Amino acid sequence: MTDLEKQVSEDQDVEDVEEQLELPDPLEIPAIVVDAMVDLHSFEAAPAHQTDLGFPGELVDDWQERAIAKIGDLRKKYRSFRVYLDSCVKCGACTDKCHYFLGSADPKNMPVARQDLLRSVYRRYYTIPGKIAPWLVGARDLTEEVLGEWYNYFHQCSQCRRCSVYCPYGIDTAEISMAAREIMDDVGKGQKYCNEIIAKLHKVGNNLGMPPKALEATLADFEEELEDDFGIEIKMPLDVEGADILLITPSADFFADPHIEGLMGYAKVFHNAGVSWTMSSYASEAANFGMFIGSYDNMRKVSRRIRKAAKDLKVKRIVFGECGHAWRVGYAFLNTLAGPWDFLDQNYPIPQHICEFTFDEIEKGAITFDKSRNDDKVMTFHDSCNVARATRMGSNPGGQFDYPRALLKASCNHFHDMPEDTIGEATVCCGGGAGILTDDLMDIRVKGAAPRMKALRQVTEEEGVTHMAAICAICKSQFTKILPKYDFDMEAIQSVHQIVSNAIVLEGATVPEDD
């Protein structure tokens, strides 16, 4: 056990203070309200955005046959899809595990019921009992009404995998949601938010649609800002051929707070480590919305940009910035989608997470922190769903929980975790993941965030927590919008590397005046 890990585990042993106030249980189970969210319909993709991704522009005439055929296709393509559809026994273990159900009370937001929207159709057309006696096994014809339900409820799933932790068979509703979205795209009924963004990425290289020139100017601004604040030159390099490290980070890091502060944090850590690094204007996006829509081809196309950038820039290592679903694609899928990575330095993880990079630097004793610079904050940490349940950091299972906490504890004096059943592998999603982070879905975003907000309320009341850090662009954007709706300050959400950035002591740097 390293010193840092020891410190983390010791801190976790500290006894919790007795509850003094009657606060709502973050995971309180509501009585069901049938069809509470049935009408929540996010904007559908315009024909141009559909065709950009290789899907039909609008709902095709033979959509029903085509969707049924697509189910048949997918059951031969993904074992998970097939086994999950057959294995569920309706035990009910998952029924109270989805944050969207807890927040909305709509029973179709219970994981098993969400799966059943598709399973019922699968049973009707692909199982003998469903063909003979549909009423007996809950099988349904694929009607327009069913398609409408698919669209609305499969866009109320953030693919966070919380249900999969509790299912005795490990059934992952995310896989079913992705399949359903793929089927809908395939018949011409895609979602605007996801598909527009993926189209932008294919064209420009990032989700924002920020062209290389604009990115260059933005980074130059950041460099200037850093120099003004700290009196030293901290680089934000772009397209530097021959750099050692290629940083792949979500484009939100170029655009919004608290993301930008996090990006500045990475830059400071790299500066302090004295490594040569660069970003790429061609692969200026870590997020991979291809996963959200279950499209292997789009996901692969997005990932291949990273490969091309790494080759063109002749880098030796790839580091991912703070982005949840991106780290899932990076950690678990990247080798399959865009490997082999034999041209990179094999002495480092491929890819590596920025938290792993910083953790190693701290371990080496290479970073000096002045924790007191964060004394105006009492921190907690929100485990982002896909980092927590689909990835790892370091070589031990659960490193994805320990590393970001170790970074926070190294850079601030006051840290308290939220209730145990809402963190770690049991973490509740921010409510905005996997294509939900759009204003037309605000209703479910607010409701889905309720468990997290109640958990945060507990530690603010009991431990005096003032800020919550996260390592996911979607979590940060979601909370910035949602926190005020639960009477928190919108700036209560922070980047982990923002906290690191505040405390890191750089050689020759002046300490900025407090605002």
Partner 1 sequence: MISISAFFAGLFYFATAVIVFGVLYRIYEYWSVPSPLNIATTPAPTTQAGAAFRVVREVTLFESLFKANKWIWLFGITFHLALLLVLLRHFRYFVDPTFILWAWVPYVQPFGKYAAFAMVLGLAALWARRFLVERVRYISSPSDHLMLLLLILIGVSGLVMKFVSHTDIMDVKHFFVGLRSFDIKELPNDLPLYIHLSLVATLMIIFPFSKLLHVPGVFLAQHEIWQIILGKNVMLPLGLRKSIIRLASDIF
- Residues forming contacts to partner 1 in the complex (CB under 8 A) are 29, 31-32, 34, 75-80, 82-84, 86-97, 107, 110, 112-113, 116, 127-129, 135-138, 161, 164-172, 175, 296, 332-333, 335-336, 388-392, 395-398, 400-401, 425
- Complex with partner 1: residue 262 or 290, whichever CB lies closer: 290
216-220: long-range contacts, CB 8 A cutoff, minimum separation 24? 216/281, 218/254, 218/255, 219/254, 219/279
E strand or H helix at 353: strand 352-353
Nearest alpha-carbon partner for 491 in 476, 512, 501: 476
CA dihedral 313, 317, 320, 325 (to 10 degrees): 100
Q: 12 to each of 169, 198, 375, 399, 403, how far by Cα in Å?
A: 30, 41, 20, 14, 14
Nearest approach in angstroms of CB 166 to partner 1 is 4
Residue count of the chain: 515
- Complex with partner 1: residue 53 or 94, whichever CB lies closer: 94
- Complex with partner 1: residue 98 or 243, whichever CB lies closer: 98
Q: What is the DSSP letter of 280?
A: -
**Starting from the edge strand earliest in sequence, which strands make up the sheet with 317-320, in order?**
277-279, 245-248, 317-320, 352-353
- Complex with partner 1: residue 397 or 508, whichever CB lies closer: 397
Pairing verdict, β 493-495 and 467-470: parallel
- Complex with partner 1: residue 51 or 335, whichever CB lies closer: 335
Nearest approach in angstroms of CB 29 to partner 1 is 8
Q: Cα(493)–Cα(83) distance, rounded to whole angstroms?
A: 39
- Complex with partner 1: residue 80 or 218, whichever CB lies closer: 80
- Complex with partner 1: residue 86 or 491, whichever CB lies closer: 86
With H, G, I as helix, E, B as strand and everything else as coil, classify residue 68.
helix
Nearest approach in angstroms of CB 127 to partner 1 is 7
- Complex with partner 1: residue 140 or 382, whichever CB lies closer: 140
- Complex with partner 1: residue 112 or 326, whichever CB lies closer: 112
- In contact, 475 and 468? CB cutoff 8 Å: no
Nearest approach in angstroms of CB 471 to partner 1 is 15
Residue 422 CB neighbours (<10 A): 22
Nearest approach in angstroms of CB 31 to partner 1 is 7
With H, G, I as helix, E, B as strand and everything else as coil, classify residue 88.
coil
398-406: long-range contacts, CB 8 A cutoff, minimum separation 24? 398/424, 401/425, 402/5, 402/8, 403/353, 403/355, 403/356, 403/359, 404/355, 404/469, 404/471, 404/496, 405/8, 405/381, 406/4, 406/5, 406/7, 406/8, 406/359, 406/362
